[in-house]
Amino acid sequence: MKFLVMIYNDDSLLDTLPPGQFDTMMNGCFKHADELRAEGHLLDSMQLEPPAQTKTVRVRNSRTTVVDGPYAEAREYLGGFNLIEAKDIDEAVRIAQSFPWAATGCIEVRPVKDIDAERQRVGA
């Protein structure tokens, strides 16, 4: 089963880290990702640029609006994600707990829908 592990950052907590701690955490995160990939759990991972570089797009009544910056004002923002393989949500949560970013934000674990089954269901 696939799970999306979304890493939410809180700059107010990241800014309180001692000098060099962020880089140490990042280095450990990459090493851990390599281990998870070797175990067959980590399928893909990406970091996202800061929310200030975001554009939010909406189409309503055939009218498109594009707004600079994130749509929601929030202390925590999506900083990256990992696509993992786990036998169930409990194993996915155990994997997510091992990421250091849980201490400076939060980690959301969400099951990924089987897009091929959905495609078939709607006849596409």
Q: Where along the chain do its domains lie? A: 2-121
Query: In which band, very low, low, confident or very high, does the pLDDT at 72 lie, cut at 50, 70 and 90?
Result: low
What does the pLDDT read at residue 112? 95
pLDDT computed for residue 102 by the predictor: 86
What would the mean pLDDT of 10-29 be, rounded to a whole number? 92
Which whole-number Å values give the CA distances from 117 to 54, 86, 87, 89, 120, in the listed order?
32, 19, 19, 20, 5
Report the topology of domain 2-121: Alpha-Beta Plaits (3.30.70)
Average pLDDT in the 67-77 region?
75
- Phi, psi (rounded to 5 degrees) for 30: -65, -40
Q: Are 8 and 78 in contact (CB under 8 A)?
A: yes
Highest mean pLDDT among 25-29, 67-71, 73-77: 25-29
Mean pLDDT of 89-93: 95
d(CA 1, CA 3): 7
* 86-95 mean pLDDT: 95
Q: Examine the pLDDT at 70 and tell me if it is beyond 80.
A: no
Q: What is the pLDDT of residue 42?
A: 96
Cα radius of gyration (the chain): 17
Q: How long is the chain?
A: 124
The average confidence (pLDDT) of the chain is 90
